Chains A and B, each alone.
Chain A
Amino acid sequence: MTAPAASPPLAVPGVLATAWLVARKDLLIEFRTRSAFLAAVVFALIAVVIFRFSSDPTAVAPIDLAPGVLWVIFVFSGLLGLHRSFGVEHADRAMDGLLAAPVSREALFLGKALANLAFVAAVQIVAIPAVALFYDLPVGGGVLLGILLVAALAAVGLVAVGTLFSAMTGNTRLAELLLPMLALPFFVPVVTPAAMATARLLAGRPMAEMAGLLRMLGAFDVIFVVACTLAFPFTLED
């Protein structure tokens, strides 16, 4: 980071500004290597194709399959990025440096979550058109916009929970297995309404039918962003 050398912690920036600095650090690492992003995108594309071959095309219409495929892909490609989030910090004990910096723990968590949100969003921006293309989805009108809204609402909740669990599992022996194991049950209340809303959008149902589902996603976001931000400091102290 390019913090001026002559600024001791007297001007600690606001929580959000600090969070942005942390996020920028992570995104910079990711942007320079691009390893996780490319892996997640390739994984998403392969999964899109494989899911189509997992069912009889004459028995299951692509439009019935698409919402489930979309959400399974989001969740699993998201987990790929989330796993790295704290994995990179534990690798060379970089975490100690982060903790020694004059950064509040809450800001650190929000920064990590922000970077993960950007990662998930980037994967979704590739995956949604891919699913629309391969599954021949009617994405005209407001449908695509609606799916993006649902995806954005769902991503916030997924990332909040996933970032916290990534911090908790990052330095265990079983990290890559433990993270999905802990996180997936927490993803159920996100994936269920999100997939239902997606299915209704694709079926051209009116927006009013989705209000309850969107409210549920929003409530999950608010509660778990707050809870995970407050819980994060407990996972650090000694």
Chain B
Amino acid sequence: MAAAARPSLSEAPVAPPARGRDLFLPLALLGVLGALVRAIWFTPVELMQGPAQKIFYVHVPAATVGLYVGLPIVAVCSAMYLWLRDERLDRVAESAAEVSLVFLTAVLVTGPLWGKPVWGTWWTWDARLTLTLFLWFVVLGYLIMRGALEDRGQRARFSAVLGLLAVLLVPFIHLSVNLFRTLHPKAIVLKPSAPSLPPEMLSTLGIAFAATVVLFFALLRARVRYAADRELLSRRLEGEG
């Protein structure tokens, strides 16, 4: 941003990379704040579910971004790492896993807060809840394993293997949790027929979606930059020692 020529992350640059203030992340946070403000004061209250329905505007985008954007990035970067052996891919996988964990945590906290007033229970062993919970465990295990491995190459390879095996696990967890009954609401936006939400609610959801996606990439970018700097630091310290 500030410096004219940013050195490539893969080789250790002599001077530390650009120092300019990173505005993307604060702006993305403001975007989410704006979406929340709109949801709180400028969106009608749903008659059947009451104000608790507004949890939907944070829950659904967080779930979609975490499950369908974050985790696929981890899986794709894992596969590409084993193929190309580029450390940047490993850093993106690590970063996407951590950011996804934040979003999945948001899902797992807001879900019960909606479930208690609307379903009458904090938790139910419903297929989608259980699947999300298990993915949360897998991502947490992935990050803890990374923390326990010292060797850089070994950490990257093991993580990539775990990331890929997790992809194979998803359909099986899906099958096993479906052995229990499901009561989760089905998708109501991407139905083949017209969406069944009133227009104000739909536009609030759309704004919340956009803000959450932007926040995801802002966090991912910040996390990848941190990982790159940390890598540079540890290389320098090793070089001295």
Contacts and interface: CB of A to CB of B under 8 A. Distances in A.
Do A and B have CB atoms closer than 8 angstroms in the complex? yes
Interface of A: 161, 164, 168-169, 172-174, 178, 181-182, 184-186, 188-189, 192-193, 196, 216, 219-220, 223-224, 227-228, 231, 234-235, 237-238
A6 B208 CA distance: 72
B197 interface: no
A219 B175 CA distance: 11
Contacts, number: 75
B123 interface: no
| The 6 residue pairs across chains A and B that have the minimum distance between CB atoms | A189-B172, A192-B176, A172-B148, A189-B176, A174-B148, A182-B141
B148 A173 contact: yes
Contact of B82 (A169, A181, A234): A234
A168 B146 CA distance: 11
A178 B148 contact: yes
Interface residues of B, number: 27
A204 B140 CA distance: 40
A2 to B, nearest CB: 34
A138 to B, nearest CB: 24
Chain B binding surface SS class: helix
A185 B161 contact: no
27 contacts: A161-B165, A164-B161, A164-B165, A168-B145, A168-B161, A172-B145, A172-B149, A173-B148, A174-B148, A178-B141, A178-B145, A181-B140, A181-B144, A182-B141, A182-B145, A184-B137, A186-B169, A189-B172, A189-B173, A192-B179, A196-B179, A219-B172, A223-B168, A235-B154, A235-B157, A235-B161, A238-B153
